[in-house]
Amino acid sequence: MDDRFRLDGTDLGIDRAASVATLGTDGELYLRIQSAHVPETVAEWATVPPRILVSGLPVRFDDEGFGATLNQARHDDFALGDADGEAVLVLSSRFDLFGRVTIHAGDRVRLVVTAATPWSPEPWRIDVSLAFGGRRRASI
């Protein structure tokens, strides 16, 4: 699986120099994944490519593998201070992400999520995959 940052099927690429993925010994995931390009739908006014920010997201083994589900309850925990963290798409504002975050083979993170924005009547579908750490080398 290659590194990618797809927004509604359009591959925006990944800026690897600006992207970071860390899985702490406490089992919490921290991500900053920067796309390489601005989506055409917002290119008139957006000057900075979108990025995904995830902080303090506990990942565990469950029925779907090793990862976490981003749902309203998780965002409520973040907002109420029951858990420190966030899971957002950043593009001029912050938009909550909903969907699934999975860690594969300990060295690849995958997000299959959606984010509702004012620029589209339907939530944006976001598919991100990034290699980090481990034995594999990501192709650049």
Q: Is the pLDDT of residue 103 over 60?
A: yes
- Residue 16 maps to a domain: yes
- Residue 24 maps to a domain: yes
Which carries the bigger pLDDT value, residue 58 or residue 84? 58
Which carries the bigger pLDDT value, residue 137 or residue 40? 40
Structurally, the chain folds into a number of domains equal to: 1
- Residue 139 maps to a domain: no
Q: CB-based contacts of 101: which residues, under 8 Å, 6+ apart? A: 29, 54, 57, 59, 67, 68, 69, 70, 87, 109, 110, 111, 113
- Residue 113 maps to a domain: yes
Across 37-66, average pLDDT: 89
CA distance 101 to 59: 8
Q: How confident is residue 120, by pLDDT bands cut at 50, 70 and 90? A: confident
Q: Which two tokens stand for residue 40?
A: 């055409």
Give just the sign of the alpha carbon dihedral 9, 60, 51, 120: positive
- Residue 63 maps to a domain: yes
- Residue 136 maps to a domain: no
41-53 residue pLDDT tens? 888 888 899 999 9
As a whole-number percent, the residues of the chain with pLDDT over 90 amount to 50
As a whole-number percent, the residues of the chain with pLDDT over 70 amount to 91
Range of the domain at 51: 4-131
Q: Is the pLDDT of residue 114 over 60?
A: yes
- Residue 138 maps to a domain: no
Helical H runs in 14-94? 72-80
Question: Coil, strand or helix: which one is 15?
Answer: coil
Question: Coil, strand or helix: which one is 123?
Answer: coil
Taking the model in full, what pTM does it have?
A: 0.86
- Residue 137 maps to a domain: no
